[in-house]
Amino acid sequence: MMRNSLALTALNVLVGAALAAIAGASLAQSAAQAGATPWPARPIRFVVPYPPGGSLDQVARALADKMKDGLGQPVLVENRPGAGGNVGADFVAKAPADGYSIVMGAVATHAINPALYAKMPYDAVKDFQPITLVASTPNVLIVPPNSPLKSAKDLIDYARKNPGKLNFGSGSNGSTGHLAGELMKQQTGTFIVHIPYSGGNPALLALMAGQTDLMFDNLANASAQIKAGKIKPLAVTTARRSAFAPELPTMAEADPRLKGFDLDTWFGIMAPAGIPREALERLHGEIVKAMNTAQLKELFARMGAEAGGNTPQEFAAFIERERAKYAGIVKLSGAKVD
């Protein structure tokens, strides 16, 4: 009897110890869960891979101001220009995938540059998680206000009869403005001299001063000067007319030799690949909500830009189509950056 009693006591001790251990583990897990910090717990870095003051920078700052309210954390815009946007995009590509670093990617950083640069510091597909397209704006064919060229057809007819006598400026070698000019030349069999500048604004100033004959600029950048009568628009580069400049024909409407001409400037927000689902969903929701505010709608309208707001999956598919399109144009143009 004594032996059985001792055995039973020992068993009870073991069971009690096991139950205590289980209870302790459960309490510890509950405490850990209760103490887990929800995302976001600190400020978010929002990289703009271009200098301050441009259209991407303006939109980023307006978005950041609205996003902070919904996220409950500051969204800090940081300009990291260089190498056609590659410097800033690469910084975010190599940042921790925790949702605290995002970038305002663009047609250059994620569609053109992979085909243009001999060596890229990042993989435009594998290194990023697309969040949403923010906006797109047509490029517009513009000439000085006193130009005798009245239409895209006039321009092309003159260029065909006078090879090499016209020149066109752009913000840089391989920019959308440069590639739009190269595509026009390819489709019409014309020779027009390309003059790259150190940015879109210097190229626009050169056109206004009559130093160049024509230019393709995005409508957001050119709209103020168009309204002021300092440059003359001839056509938009998209497949359909812009709701913000419906009087302007498309390139294809202006001249049948430009059938299928369809280029625009777009930008959207991305994060490093592999960010937590919670961060992705929160960022997407707050960005889209901010884009639908009166302030952002007014800004987009002033820029002649159409708002985006698609899903991460839709944005990823869009980027892939753009990459394929621009790879073909870059190849035909022969443009390269070492």
Domain 138-258 CATH class label: alpha beta
Contact 81, 49 (CB under 8 A): yes
Predicted local confidence at residue 337, as pLDDT: 84
- The CATH H-level superfamily of 44-137+265-333 is Bordetella uptake gene, domain 1 (3.40.190.150)
Do 44-137+265-333 and 138-258 come out as alike in CATH topology?
A: yes
Predicted local confidence at residue 47, as pLDDT: 98
Instruction: Report the predicted TM-score, pTM, of the whole model to 2 decimal places.
Output: 0.82
Alpha-carbon dihedral sign for residues 74, 79, 85, 91: negative
Ordered by start, the domain boundaries in the chain are 44-137+265-333, 138-258
Predicted local confidence at residue 224, as pLDDT: 87
Which residue do the tokens 């209760």 mark? 34
Q: Give helix 200-208 / helix 219-227 axis angle, nearest 10°.
A: 30
Total Cβ atoms within 10 A of residue 183: 22
Helix (H, G, I), strand (E, B) or coil at 98: coil
Beta bridge partner(s), residue 32: none
What is the rounded CA–CA span in Å between residue 300 and residue 244? Answer: 10
Helix (H, G, I), strand (E, B) or coil at 78: strand
Beta bridge partner(s), residue 143: 232
Kindly give the residue spans of alpha helices, DSSP state H, lying in 78-199: 86-93, 107, 113-116, 152-161, 176-188
Contact 141, 235 (CB under 8 A): yes
DSSP for 110-141, please give it.
IIIHHHHBSS-SS-TTTTEEEEEEEEEEEEEE
Predicted local confidence at residue 36, as pLDDT: 61
Residue 313 one-letter amino acid: Q
Of 335, 334, 315, 312, residue with least CA distance to 323: 315
Of 87, 130, 129, residue with least CA distance to 109: 87
Total residue length of the chain: 338
Of 102, 104, 81, residue with least CA distance to 172: 81
Per-residue confidence in pLDDT tens, the chain, 338 aa: 434 444 444 444 444 444 444 444 444 444 334 446 789 999 999 999 998 988 899 999 999 999 999 999 999 999 999 998 999 999 999 999 999 999 999 999 999 999 999 999 999 999 999 999 999 999 999 999 999 999 999 999 999 999 999 999 998 888 899 999 999 999 999 999 999 998 888 999 999 999 999 999 988 889 889 999 999 999 999 999 998 899 999 999 999 999 999 999 999 999 999 999 999 999 999 999 999 999 999 999 888 889 999 999 999 999 999 999 999 999 988 888 87
Kindly give the residue spans of alpha helices, DSSP state H, lying in the chain: 2-35, 55-71, 86-93, 107, 113-116, 152-161, 176-188, 200-208, 219-227, 251-254, 277-291, 294-303, 312-333
